[in-house]
């Protein structure tokens, strides 16, 4: 006899997996704004070529860099939305899905 997990367990797993994935995706956006290792390597490089570099510059440069990354990312997203590239990207993905292609044909034929 083959054991299959109960439907409630599967729904529970899918629900919480999706919550985790969405949360981690949003967390990665924030994490990518400030990459600690990159900042430290950059800081050590600057200190090695300019030892008397004042420490307060870090307090100014880091917020400017983060603000610049946010601005560039937002502008790119705005541009992507303005020219409806989300739709074109979705159409490209859907065109490669044979199940959706079959459903589209069936639905379009039934509407004629």
Boundaries of domain holding 69: 54-111
- 15 inside domain: no
Which is higher by pLDDT, 65 or 101?
A: 65
Helices assigned H by DSSP within the chain: 7-33, 36-49, 56-82, 85-95, 98-111
Residue 48 has a pLDDT of 93
What token pair was written down for 59? 């307090």
Half-sphere exposure of 52 (CA within 13 A, CB side): 0
- 31 inside domain: no
- 62 inside domain: yes
Residue 107 has a pLDDT of 79
Residue 35 has a pLDDT of 81
Q: Tell me the C-alpha distance between 74 and 69, whole Å.
A: 8
- 73 inside domain: yes
- 107 inside domain: yes
- 49 inside domain: no
Q: Is the pLDDT of residue 112 over 70?
A: no
- 21 inside domain: no
Tens of pLDDT, residue by residue over 23-80, are 888 888 878 877 888 888 988 898 899 889 888 887 898 889 888 888 998 899 899 8
Residue 16 has a pLDDT of 93
- 63 inside domain: yes
Number of domains in the chain: 1
* pTM assigned to the model: 0.58
């Amino acid at each position: 006899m083959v054991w299959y997990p109960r439907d409630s367990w599967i729904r529970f797993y899918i629900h919480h997996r999706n919550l985790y994935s969405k949360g981690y995706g949003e967390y990665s956006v924030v994490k990518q704004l400030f990459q600690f290792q990159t900042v430290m390597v950059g800081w050590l490089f600057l200190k090695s070529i300019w030892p008397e570099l004042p420490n307060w510059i870090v307090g100014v440069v880091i917020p400017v860099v983060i603000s610049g990354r946010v601005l560039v990312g937002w502008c790119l997203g705005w541009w992507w939305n303005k020219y409806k590239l989300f739709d074109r990207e979705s159409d490209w993905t859907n065109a490669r899905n044979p199940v959706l292609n079959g459903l589209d044909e069936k639905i379009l034929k039934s509407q004629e």
